[in-house]
């Protein structure tokens, strides 16, 4: 069954049981590309924008109360996810996202029409004249991207990072007394506490949160009110500022009207900045996950300094093998996020004159990156970091480490310390054994100088040079 609706191109058949109209039906035919759809956070943001606009337009006397109230109800249903199945358009569509803005306008208009007792398609509530009043796709869609990203960073990503930071910090405390060999250039370096390594990881996550807060400041500036090209044509002069205030109340995050609408619609610089913060965190998280994966390698032929939780069998052919699968999933997410960032950056380059024309693909990649980073971070904290255990391997190897000679350098000089290290390496003996033979130092003095715990703190612990 179908009904016939009209748009500016003429008549179009629309399935009888849907809320969308002719414009959306045309876009369904025009873009059978990928099957990818705008995610829930974006649709929520779009619904909130349409609700805030209707409420304000009623207050401004631009929209009759019965019409506006019906739009508010329908837009709230969109924001709450009750009409998600009506958002049927592919991500790869018109670069401004006009098709999806009209998808929202038509769904809300037909639902509001139904609420007023009219038939779908009758335009008792009009998608353009009423739902889209004081708006354009060109300011609504980028505003929806900003708003969705703001909400998801605040509601899902930052809490996930805080959970991961806390888990890493707990291990920093738990592993404080575990002294192991540090590594630089993948080679043995001076001793380090396992807890210090984990404090470093926690510090990376903490700083990622700080960078995300900067990104939120950028995202809070939105282009709503600029309408077609940034001039604000067909919008009430008070619409933008008051709509942003209302939208902030509805969304629980702060948005404000940009003080330069022309940059806000011609480019998506703020989205690139936010994506860059996500990429920075992804590279940090990749380093952390890979370090932990390597420290857990073995258990007999690898580094074996950590024991990772055994969450599933690791092989279909090797009995008893367990792999670092949680860390591996994190690494794949981080790779995906870095790819997403490249798409967002390329998308910004296609801001031709007064409008960016890659907004849908920018939205998809930015919001996907936020979602998968949040999930991977929380899962990493819960299923890997929380269950990590230190082994005796790291501490047992410290005494055999050649870089203990570093503590001798302030006492005997760099050249003599290097000679001792090379001799220990050639003969397979420890630094302590060779130093006892080569130097006129007592065992007590050697114990004092070669104390691994002291080597994990700042200072010259060996005394003066000689």
Residue-level pLDDT at 465: 37
Q: Which of 213-222, 284-293, 453-462 has the lowest mean pLDDT?
A: 453-462
Does 209 score more than 90 pLDDT?
A: yes
Mean pLDDT throughout 206-215?
Answer: 98
- Catalytic residues, by residue number, are 185, 315
pLDDT tens, position by position, 284-294: 999 999 999 99
Residue-level pLDDT at 430: 95
Q: Which is nearest to 265 in space by CA: 294, 325, 304, 224?
A: 224
Residue range 2-133, CATH number: 1.10.275.10
Measured N-to-C along each axis, helices 98-115 and 22-30 cross at an angle, to the nearest 10 degrees, of 150
Q: Is 184 within any annotated ligand binding site?
A: yes
Asked if 283 and 339 count as a contact pair (C-beta separation under 8 A), the reply is: no
Q: Is 97 within any annotated ligand binding site?
A: yes
- Fold held by 399-456: Ribonucleotide Reductase Protein R1; domain 1 (1.10.40)
| Neighbouring-strand partners of residue 3 | 14
pLDDT tens, position by position, 128-148: 999 999 999 999 999 999 999
Selected from 1.10.260.40, 1.20.200.10, 3.40.50.10490, 3.40.50.300, the CATH number assigned to the domain covering 139-391 reads: 1.20.200.10
Q: Is 126 within any annotated ligand binding site?
A: yes
Domains 139-391 and 399-456 share a fold: no
Q: Is 321 within any annotated ligand binding site?
A: yes
Mean pLDDT throughout 371-384?
Answer: 98
Mean pLDDT throughout 312-326?
Answer: 92
Does 409 score more than 60 pLDDT?
A: yes
Q: Is 340 within any annotated ligand binding site?
A: no
Residue-level pLDDT at 461: 60
Q: Which is nearest to 86 in space by CA: 69, 64, 105, 68?
A: 105
Q: Is 375 within any annotated ligand binding site?
A: no
pTM of the model: 0.96
Q: Domain limits of the chain? A: 2-133, 139-391, 399-456
Q: Is 14 within any annotated ligand binding site?
A: no
Asked if 462 and 449 count as a contact pair (C-beta separation under 8 A), the reply is: yes
pLDDT tens, position by position, 16-44: 999 999 999 999 999 999 999 999 999 99
Q: Is 275 within any annotated ligand binding site?
A: no
Does 316 score more than 50 pLDDT?
A: yes
Supply the mean pLDDT for the chain: 96
């Amino acid at each position: 069954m179908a009904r016939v609706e009209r748009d500016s191109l003429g008549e179009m058949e629309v399935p009888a049981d849907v809320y969308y109209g002719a414009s959306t039906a045309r876009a369904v035919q025009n873009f059978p590309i990928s099957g990818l759809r705008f995610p829930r956070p974006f649709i929520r943001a779009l619904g909130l924008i349409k609700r805030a606009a209707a409420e304000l337009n009623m207050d401004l006397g631009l929209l009759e109360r019965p019409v506006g109230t019906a739009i508010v109800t329908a837009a709230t249903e969109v924001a709450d996810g009750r009409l998600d199945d009506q958002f049927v358009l592919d991500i790869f569509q018109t670069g401004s996202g006009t098709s999806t803005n009209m998808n929202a306008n038509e769904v809300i208009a037909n639902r509001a029409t139904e609420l007023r007792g009219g038939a779908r398609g009758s335009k008792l509530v009009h998608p353009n004249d009423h739902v889209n009043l004081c708006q354009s796709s060109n300011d609504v869609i980028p505003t929806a991207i900003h708003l969705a990203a703001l909400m998801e960073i605040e509601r899902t990503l930052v809490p996930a990072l805080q959970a991961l930071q806390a888990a890493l910090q707990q291990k920093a405390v738990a592993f404080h007394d575990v002294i192991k060999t540090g590594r630089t250039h993948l080679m043995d370096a001076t001793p380090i506490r396992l807890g210090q390594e984990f404090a470093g990881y926690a510090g990376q996550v903490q700083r990622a949160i700080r960078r995300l807060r900067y990104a939120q400041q950028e995202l809070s500036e939105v282009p709503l009110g600029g309408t077609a090209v940034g001039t604000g044509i067909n919008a009430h002069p008070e619409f933008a500022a008051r709509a942003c205030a209302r939208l902030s109340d509805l969304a629980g995050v702060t948005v404000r009207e940009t003080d330069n609408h022309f940059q806000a619609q011609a480019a998506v610089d703020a989205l690139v900045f936010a994506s860059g913060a996500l990429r920075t965190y992804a590279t940090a998280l990749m380093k952390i996950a890979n370090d932990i994966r390597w420290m857990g390698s073995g258990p007999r032929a690898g580094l074996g300094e950590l024991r990772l939780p055994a969450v599933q069998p690791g092989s279909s052919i090797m009995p008893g093998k367990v792999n670092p699968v949680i860390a591996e999933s994190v690494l794949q997410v981080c790779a995906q996020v870095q790819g997403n960032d490249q798409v967002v950056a390329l998308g910004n380059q296609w801001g031709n004159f007064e409008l960016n024309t890659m907004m849908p693909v920018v939205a998809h990649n930015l919001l996907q990156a936020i979602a998968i980073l949040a999930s991977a971070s929380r899962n990493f904290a819960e299923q890997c970091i929380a269950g990590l255990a230190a082994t005796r391997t790291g501490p047992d190897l410290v005494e055999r480490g050649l870089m203990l000679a570093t503590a001798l350098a302030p006492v005997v000089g760099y050249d003599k310390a290097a000679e001792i290290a090379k001799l220990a390496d050639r003969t397979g003996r420890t630094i302590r054994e060779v130093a006892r033979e080569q130097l006129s130092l007592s065992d007590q003095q050697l114990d004092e100088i070669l104390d691994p715990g002291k080597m994990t703190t700042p200072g010259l612990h060996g005394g003066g040079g000689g």
